[in-house]
Every structure is written in C-alpha cells, then in structure tokens.
Amino acid sequence: MDPQSHKRVAVIGGGPAGLMAAEAAANAGMHVDVYERMGSVGRKFLIAGKGGLNLTHSEAFETFVARFGLREQEIARWLKSFDADALRVWAAGLGVETFVGSSGRVFPSDLKAAPLLRGWVRRLRASGVRFHAHHRWLGWNSTSALRFGTTEGNEEIRADAVVLALGGGSWPILGSDGSWQQILGSRGIDVAPLQPANCGFDVNWTPFLRERHAGAPIKPVSIRWKSTAGDEFHRQGEFVLTRNGIEGSLVYALSSRLRDEIAVHGATTIYLDLLPGRELERLVHDLSRPRGKHSMAKHLHRHAGLDGAKVALLHELLERDVFNDMPRLAASIKDLPLLLQRPRPLDEAISSAGGVRLEALDEHLMLRNLPGVFCAGEMLDWEAPTGGYLLTASIASGRLAGAGAAEWINARDA
C-alpha cells in the first residue's frame, strides 16, 4: 500500500495563493485536491493581466518588504524563502521569461497572464493535483468534514489538512466575495473587517465635470497630503477622473492612508500640483503676461500648457475671482485642494485589506484554534500597493501554507 495514500490536502480557492499551496503540498508528496467556486481557476489573475501582467518588482529586498507597512516583518518572513527573484526563476521554469520595465516592475515577456496560468495548471495536473470546479465552500459538518455546494447538490469530503485561499472581498464576480468571514468567525477565528484597498475615492463633482471629463487622465500631476497625525505623502504620477471621483496608480499608492483618515475624520483633502515641472515663480511670470483678447482657456494653454481636464478641474474647484488674479491662480495650479469624501465600495477595489488576523496563525500560517487548517493569500489581514507586491506575497504565502500543511500531516503521522 502506498504509504502516502492517506495523506491528502484540500486546497480551497484556485487563485495564485491556492495554486502555489497545491504545488508545495504536491511537491512534498501529498495527494492534493483544489476546490474552486468558479468554473475555472485563476479568473482574477487573468483579468489582472489583461493590461500586462505585473508579476513582481525588481526593488532590493529591504525596499520591497517596506511596501507592506505594518505587516512588513511578517511578510518579510514569507518572502525570505520565496522572494521576487525566486518568483522570476519559478516563472522561467514554466517557460515564461520576464523583463524589468522602466518603472522597475517585472512582466512576462509577452505581457500575458494566460500562458503562465496554462503552463502552471498543466504542471500541477502532471504532478497529480486534481481540480474540482463549481465547488462553493460551506464550512464543516458536525464531524469536521468539508462541505461544498455544487451544481449537483451538496458534497462532503475529508482531508488530512486544509489550505484556505479564498481571497478577499474585491471583484466578487470573479469568486472572492468574502463569504468565508462568517464561517471562520463562527469558529472563533479573529477576522478584521474587509475594507477596500488600491481603490478610488468619491468627489462631489458638478454634472458638467462628471459628464464631460469622466475617464480623462490627469498627468503629469503630483499629490501632496498630510494626515492629522502628521503622516506625509508627496509623489508624482497620474490618475483618472471618474464619474464619482478619482482613481488610478497615484491614488492607489496613497489609498490605505486616505481610507484610514476618512474612517476617523469623515473626509480628507489632498493637494494637486497640476504642473509639477514648473516652479511657482516662473508660472506667476508666465501667467502675468498680457492676455489681450484671448480667452482664459487659450491663455492657460499658451502660457501654462494646461488643457482639457486640468482646466476643468480649476474651474470646478476655484472661485471665479481667482482667474482674475494671476499670482493666486498660479498658486492654485501648484497646490489645488481636492476634498475626498469616501473610498469607493469594496467590490470595485483592486484588492482588499482586513481578513484573518496574522496573530491567529502560527509561523506556518496554520490557524492556532483549528489545527490542520492553514490560510494564505488575500484573505489574510495585510495589504500591498500595486506594483506586483500583492501577487508576490500571495504566492509566497501559499507556498508557506502548502508546505506547512504537508509538514503538519507528516509530523502528526510520525
């Protein structure tokens, strides 16, 4: 009889964390079954890669782990055995070469997610991993068997260890709806409420700006912000006007701090520099040139290079008399206040914060109150900015949890 035949790991969730958990457990000699709520695995992974899959970032390790804020120390431990360089080597093993972009971000050479996912699933199947689609996890029954809702009714299965990789609460249409919170909460697991991360924010636009300029990029631009506690942020980049407010990479870089500030104080104000490449003194000089018969829009175009959505923002946010005072107008262009009212809803966010608190897990990501149950990925209480950080750490956590599950089974059976 195969001595490993009874050593079975159930991985629930077929995103990157779950797939890596399955790989790690299978490599340790376990029989592995992956249960996925949707019709196929990796749906969010594929959607995220539509604009060019950002796998990871080429920063030095110390800089990389600092991106995880309050959870830096814990996630550094995940990444010590599987960091950004290891992820690139792993991708190459699937036949996917990578390159470093101008921003330091790392992408597959073809910029696509699908070839990597296909190669990954193919290799997992070859290693014996079995996939079960349309399986929605419902928790455990009274005898600790796993319960699933399927297209053919409810199903119960037993496993020697379980890895939960159920995602956060963003993009629920792709399977991550956060419904696991109630299941784990009922078992006494400490779960922090899910919140939007890498999200946009609401602004009370007038109908004119909403209808005429939604979708317009604002670039280049810099954002300056200071919290009531003295936390400061100043960075150049770009964002997009939306019907409801603003979103985009520069906003996402600050979104966790803006979200937390709004939660305490009800709103917060950022300050925009619409001409980050021009000093205030020069701008005052340029705008003070005679306007003649030209319109203000033409004057701003000729002497400040401002057009379209940037000019619309000025009219949206400034009193009329400011346009008759060139020093005040120049100062406003360089430091334009924008009141943010609230983050956009969780189901619109790129990712989520909150989840199973890391303090509820041991060093192998096993739940202290549920021996044999491990957690990985975005369902844990951490967050990361865009730039490949979320994907890298999710995969590293899956690897840790999958290996931990195999080690726990072997230690129990020793």
- Whether residues 152 and 255 share a domain: the answer is no
Domain that holds residue 395: 8-196+353-413
Domain boundary among 343, 374, 390: 343
Provide the pLDDT confidence category of residue 239 given band limits of 50, 70 and 90.
very high
- Whether residues 247 and 131 share a domain: the answer is no
Q: What is the mean pLDDT of residues 180-209?
A: 97
Written as one string, the DSSP assignment of 19-67 is HHHHHHHHHTT-EEEEE-SSSSS-HHHHHHTTT----EE-S-HHHHHHT
Other C-beta atoms closer than 10 Å to the C-beta of 112 total 16
Residue 243 lies in a domain: yes
Residue 172 lies in a domain: yes
Q: What confidence score (pLDDT) does residue 171 get?
A: 85
Q: What is the mean pLDDT of the chain?
A: 95
Q: How many residues does the chain have?
A: 414
pLDDT digits (tens, 9 = 90+) for 355-368: 999 999 999 999 99
Residue 224 lies in a domain: yes
Distance CA 83, CA 102 (A): 20
Residue 348 lies in a domain: no
Q: What confidence score (pLDDT) does residue 298 get?
A: 94
- Whether residues 338 and 366 share a domain: the answer is no
- Whether residues 174 and 213 share a domain: the answer is no
2, pLDDT greater than 50: no
Q: What confidence score (pLDDT) does residue 3 get?
A: 40
238, pLDDT greater than 90: yes
Residue 217 lies in a domain: yes
222, pLDDT greater than 90: yes
What's the domain count of the chain?
Answer: 2
Domain boundary among 343, 369, 394: 343
Residue 381 lies in a domain: yes
pLDDT digits (tens, 9 = 90+) for 285-326: 999 999 888 899 999 999 999 999 999 999 999 999 999 999
CATH number at residue 154: 3.50.50.60
DSSP state of 168: -
Q: What confidence score (pLDDT) does residue 4 get?
A: 46
Residue 3 lies in a domain: no
- Whether residues 367 and 291 share a domain: the answer is no
Residue 403 lies in a domain: yes
Domain boundary among 291, 315, 343: 343
Specify the pTM.
Answer: 0.93
Provide the pLDDT confidence category of residue 114 given band limits of 50, 70 and 90.
very high
Q: What confidence score (pLDDT) does residue 363 get?
A: 97
Q: What confidence score (pLDDT) does residue 1 get?
A: 31
- Whether residues 326 and 401 share a domain: the answer is no
- Whether residues 231 and 317 share a domain: the answer is yes
- Whether residues 321 and 389 share a domain: the answer is no
- Whether residues 327 and 376 share a domain: the answer is no
Q: Position 199: which residue type?
A: C
Q: What confidence score (pLDDT) does residue 367 get?
A: 98
- Whether residues 325 and 268 share a domain: the answer is yes
DSSP state of 215: T
- Whether residues 231 and 330 share a domain: the answer is yes
Written as one string, the DSSP assignment of 2-14 is -TTTT-EEEEE--
Q: What confidence score (pLDDT) does residue 113 get?
A: 96
Token digits of residue 394: 């999710």
Q: What confidence score (pLDDT) does residue 188 get?
A: 96
pLDDT digits (tens, 9 = 90+) for 70-89: 999 999 999 999 999 999 99
Provide the pLDDT confidence category of residue 166 given band limits of 50, 70 and 90.
very high
Quote the percentage of the chain above a pLDDT of 90. Answer: 94
Q: What confidence score (pLDDT) does residue 333 get?
A: 98
- Whether residues 381 and 329 share a domain: the answer is no
